[in-house]
Amino acid sequence: MKDDFIAANDRPLLEQAGLADFDALWRLELTPVDHPNVDRGGWSSVCQLELPEQRYYLKRQSNHLTRSLRHPFGEPTFCREFRNIQRYAARGVPATQAAFFGVREREGKPCAVLLTRALTDWRDLASWLNVWPQCTESDRQQLLVACGLLARRLHLAGLIHCCFYPRHIFVRVGEQGGFEACLIDLEKTRRLWFPRRDRIKDLEQFIRHAPQLDDDEAGLFLATCLDAPQQGAEVAQWRQWLQTRRQRKEGH
């Protein structure tokens, strides 16, 4: 077993609360924010953890495994998520941040703990879309530019999110005005092996799950992703590719 990960910025607060080790976090009694996930032959749960000046999400799982060529017998799904959190940080892509990660075996079953910082001053894009008609035109445009820049940054880093939905994109007002965006739920992130096909997957997912966008707004998002003129041939071609994928998905 490798050493546990504890973020330097969070260590003092966790140590002060007596929560800077796996067992303390594993034994903590908290109410889950949702029904535990009981697929994959085990369970996985998420709870909120309130500490002075910082709120966290405490994610715990037992025998909740994912299999791959590297791990044919399975590993906790949080292992993949934690690796992706580190990958995003190393490549400068804004995303959720880990405060603690550790793996143990309990009663012969692999168990994992992942503690992430809550995005307390951020708001998911899905909640903005729920009140989209009430938003100003300026706010709508700046939100779409922030999401487009996030997608461009993600893909330039050689990554594909694979669940690029509005509920997984969080936004806040930027220090220089406008908005900035970041990503959560990184478990399914993988390398971008086929640039056009993989980027189409992320971008089509975003537009399909944002039906509130009109044609011009979808074009602004795409133009920002591609760093291309909104009325140009490149955006028009990508619109066609995205429409083709959407039709294929709906046909299934």
Q: DSSP letter string over 153-172?
A: HHHHTTEE-S---GGGEEEE
Amino acid at 94: P
Is the domain spanning 5-117 CATH 3.30.200? The answer is: yes
Residues above pLDDT 70, as percent of the chain: 98
C-alpha–C-alpha distance, residues 197 and 113, integer Å? 34
CATH 3.30.200 intervals, the chain? 5-117
CATH 1.10.510 intervals, the chain? 123-251
**Residue range 117-175, pLDDT digits in tens:** 999 999 999 999 999 999 999 999 999 999 999 999 999 999 999 999 999 999 999 88
Average pLDDT estimate for 224-229: 97
**Residue range 67-88, pLDDT digits in tens:** 776 777 778 899 999 999 999 9
Q: Chain-centre distance of CA 169, in angstroms?
A: 7
Q: What is the pLDDT of residue 198?
A: 96
Q: Hunting for tokens 């949080």 — which residue is that?
A: 78
SS percent in the chain: helix, strand, coil, step 5: 40, 25, 35
Average pLDDT estimate for 211-229: 97
Which of 62, 60, 49 lies closest to 19 in space, CA to CA? 49
Q: Hey, what CATH class is 123-251 in?
A: mainly alpha
The two tokens of residue 81 are 């998520």
**Residue range 169-202, pLDDT digits in tens:** 999 998 888 899 999 999 999 999 999 999 999 9
The two tokens of residue 88 are 């995003």
pLDDT at residue 1 greater than cutoff 60: no
Q: How confident is the model at residue 2 (pLDDT cuts 50, 70, 90)?
A: low
Q: What is the mean pLDDT of the chain?
A: 94
